[in-house]
Structure 1
Amino acid sequence: MTRRSRSPNQIRADFSAAMSAMYRTEVPAYGDLVKIVGQTNVTVLNSPARDALNLTPDEDTTRISQERHGAIRLGTAAELAMMARVFRVMGMHPVGYYDLSVASVPVHSTAFRPIARADLAENPFRVFTSLLRLELIADAALREKAQAVLDRRQIFTETAIALTETAEANGGLEDGDAADFVREVLETFRWHPEACVDAETFAALIKAHRLIADVVSFRGPHINHLTPRTLDIDAAQDGMIARGLPAKAIIEGPPRRTCPILLRQTAFKALDEPVRFPTPAGGWHDGHHTARFGEIEQRGAALTPKGRTLYDQLLAEVRAAVLPAADGTNTAEYDAKLAEVFRKFPDDWRKLYDQGLAYFKFAVTGMPPPGTPQDVAALLDAGVLTLSPIIYEDFLPVSAAGIFQSNLGDEARDRVQPVSNQQQFEAALGVPVADEFALYDALQADSLAACLRQLSGTTSSG
């Protein structure tokens, strides 16, 4: 009997599904989120709102129900380097560098995800992966203790490491090994309530920063949220509130728009979960920890550097006027200011393209009338070409930090941290991170070139 090889896309889809099943068991409210998002997406896809979103038929709609992103926090350079190898088996590559220290979160990060258009269409699973910056612990003795704890732990099973090496040596995994790989790697992300530090050390780490305590105190980088994608985050937010979930008051990111851009996200606040701390006598001391939360997201068009600059300027203008309060007391004021300021950002697909603010895919939908100039604008005007947005596959530093802060408490908001260093991060990672703008630019260029070749062949044969 011939043994079949399993593609990275298939392994990634298997792992995403396994992660979702595990997280549903560990955090039952996540199951509520999935139901809310599923119901919302069905409603949108069966309403006129679907046409306004201008999604690429099939490519952008078939992936939505299975789409997830996760987030993990690693403690050492060695853990990050090994995680990169594991994700590579799943066809996931590091894209972008995120400095969260500017938002008082002591990590720097990247997003592991597929990068080719066909791979994204098949399964766009992505994991926002952060590396802890222990040097930001001011107490030298506590910093050394934390480092010693991290140096002792091994977050990957021996089998997961061995199968990663097998995949690297053989250029992939056969079906049986792929199933074992998914099962073993899942153990790295599983929640373990038994801490590996005592309660006193945990309290000291909490005082240094809640996120530091979360990374250092446990056996591995438990997934701290797993995010489904909705096509209408405002409706999904209403659904969360209706089900009694403690939803955030503010939806992070741009305001509601006819033509969605970048990323909007919201969450229910982190769970207070029971944990156990080891005692000197060899027993356990009961305690609690706040770490994991439920998040949903709505993804819009990827913005060009010009578009991203405009977005950043407008968001800065909003926050200079109204800084959203964590308790939601000024939600209405913030939302009103956000909508007012973002009127300066065009809310029309063609204007976004003409002004070079967003990236697009193209499709041939007609024959050019005689005399039509062979430029993109003329072909769009004639209906020969149509465009649809390239979905933003990445993350927003301000948005991500906002979610983290809201779940870590207000005391973290005003701390000033040194700026992270991309070269330091990439040295730990072992490879450079990809430039997300270059990836989106290539997707747009390839799509347009394919359409122009098609038109050229049609015109020649005619």
Structure 2
Amino acid sequence: MSTLSFVDPDEIRTQFSRAMSEMYKEEVPLYGTLMELVAETNKKVLESNKAISDYLKRTGEIERLEMERHGAIRVGTPEELATIARLFAVMGMQPVGYYDLTPAGVPVHSTAFRAVHEDSLQSSPFRVFTSLLRLDLIENEELRRLVEIILDERQIFTPNALALIEKFESNGGLDAKDARDFIDEALETFRWHHDATVSAKEYQRLHDQHRLIADIVAFKGPHINHLTPRTLDIDMIQDGMPQKGITPKAVIEGPPRRACPILLRQTSFKALQETIVFTDQNNSATGNHTARFGEIEQRGAALTPKGRKLYDTLLNAARAELGEFPSESNAEKYTQLLEKHFKEFPDTYAELHDKGLAYFRYFPTQQGIASRSNSYRPSSRQDLIAQGRIQYEPIVYEDFLPVSAAGIFQSNLGDDSQAHYSGNSNQDDFEKALGQKVTNELKLYADTQRRSLLECSTILAVPPLV
């Protein structure tokens, strides 16, 4: 089959993310309300802040803003994880980063499936944070064996989805009809099912061990548990949710509000209580399950290893001074501590750039293009910046933060879900289950920065910049 008839994986990912959003809107009505609030907020920011509007237009971010989403799922077995990786590969999504959530009392480790090249990210920034249950952390041997039996008996992918994945791998792509069928079949894996796969007693045992374990094990598949839009002002969202009848979590996860946003800030509303039917019940006798919730994010500049080290140091200092898990009772104090400690983190893009704290994309200016000369030899990229021949913009952070992810999980699962696990971070085991290595996210940002410099060198006819 000619590759000319294949649908670009970026387009499949775009169509899938739209279909996922429509499905989730039907399943979780508050998600639709949340989308309205995000659209209203982003419109206000763009109309009132010309600097942000101009930045988004210069970088092309404006085109992706409305479609930006990230989802989150949790799988139970290495086989499920390996197959979900193959499913995401059809959409041009690769595993990026390794996240260990056990230090925060969440018995999973995770990666994020997403596009890895800046051009593909501009086409569709859809990403899925995917967690694998760590069976080794269930200390009760009898319960661990029960979990294994339950998970071994389920199949979270439809036969047609598996067939289309194999067809993609064999042929190198999918045509338009197969791509449409793939999207329909793949959605079934992420759909919510009211029917549990366990009895009420088994569910309670899983729930008592950890509410997240019950969510992973007790259902037919890894239902999407949140779908997150991107806002330009998360503080405005936090203030606006109550006006829409939505109660936000007390603390915005991540860094404090800044003039120059960095990394990722997230907030959410409480998990829904949903009716489920256990295997030993009929429709007139049902139980309840809480797991799926609403989440919103604001993304800032990707930090270099030096910047990330400073971020972690300041975040840890604020949390250490707080002395307890951030919650509704200490939210105001925690916010004040964050703002105090993060005064040490430079808050202008010029400082972030010159001190090597963040990654940037470089663009030739009209002045630079007009004055290019084969005889011109700049001494450094700073020379070109000073002369106005190139300009730079921060690279958007596309990934996640383990402390923030754990904070969102704990807030929505309830304080009683916190636990302590003796297991250590185990990226090797995760990658063995995955069937491949995860990509280091910092390398991707460095590659994007380097490519932009080389493009500037070519356009301006100067020796390659580094």
| TM > 0.5 fold call | yes
> Match of 1:173, SS?
coil
C-alpha separation in 2, matches of 1:53 and 1:239: 25
2:142 aligned residue: 141
Tell me what 1:159 maps to: 160
Residue 301 of structure 2 aligns with an amino acid whose one-letter code is A
Contact 2:46 2:53 in 1 (8 A): no
Unmatched tracts of structure 1, length 5 or more: none
Please show how residues 56-455 of structure 1 align to structure 2 within 5 Å: 57=58, 59-279=60-280, 285-323=285-323, 327-365=327-365, 366-367=367-368, 373-455=378-460
CA distance in 2, matches of 1:269, 1:215: 18
Query: Displacement, 1:369?
Result: 9.4
How far has the Cα of 1:412 moved from its partner? 3.0
> Across the two proteins, how many residue pairs are aligned to each other?
456
- Structure 1 window deviating more from structure 2 (175-184 vs 331-340): it is 331-340
| TM-superposed deviation, 1:56 | 5.6
Q: What one-letter code is carried by the residue in structure 2 that aligns with 1:318?
A: A
Judge which range, 81-90 or 54-63, deviates more. Answer: 54-63
Checking the alignment, whether the CA contact within 8 Å between 2:147 and 2:217 is kept in structure 1 is yes
Q: State the shift of 1:52 in Å.
A: 8.2
- 1:210-251 Cα offsets, whole Å, 9 max, x none, are 010000000000000000000110111112121121210100
Q: Which residue of 1 aligns with 2:48?
A: 47
Q: Distance in 2 between matches of 1:15 and 1:82?
A: 17
Q: Report the residue type matching 1:448 in the other structure.
A: L
**Secondary structure of the corresponding residue to residue 285 of structure 1:** coil
* Cα distance change on mapping 1:50 and 1:198 into 2, 3 Å: farther
How far does residue 279 in structure 1 lie from its aligned partner after superposition? 1.2
Residue 19 of structure 1 aligns to which amino acid in structure 2? M
Aligned equivalents of 1:354 and 1:26: distance in 2? Answer: 47
Q: Which amino acid aligns with 2:124?
A: N
Give the deviation of 1:298 after TM superposition: 0.3
8 Å Cα contact 1:52/1:258 also seen in 2: no
Q: Normalization by structure 1: what TM-score? A: 0.95
Higher mean C-alpha deviation, range 312-321 or range 446-455: 446-455
**Contact 2:112/2:399, CA 8 A, preserved across alignment:** yes
RMSD, aligned CA: 1.9
Could you tell which deviates more after superposition, 318-327 or 110-119?
A: 318-327
Shift of 1:49: 5.4
* Amino acid aligned to 2:300: G
Give structure 2 stretches of 5+ with no counterpart: none
Task: Show CA shifts across 1:415-438 (max 9, x none).
Answer: 234113101000000010001111
Preserved CA contact (<8 Å) 2:226 2:293: yes
CA contact (8 A) 1:323 1:334 kept: no
Shift of 1:48: 2.1
Question: Percent identity, aligned pairs only?
Answer: 53
Q: 1:53 to 1:284 in 2, by over 3 A?
A: farther
Q: Which amino acid aligns with 2:137?
A: L
Q: Deviations over 1:6-53 (max 9, x none)?
A: 110000001000000000000000001111111111111222254388
Residues 241, 248 of structure 2: 8 Å contact kept:
yes
Cα distance in 2 for partners of 1:391, 1:450 equals 19
Q: Secondary structure at the match of 2:445?
A: helix
Instruction: Flag the 1:61–1:52 CA change in 2: closer, same or farther, 3 A.
Output: closer
- Equivalent AA in structure 1 for residue 78 of structure 2: A
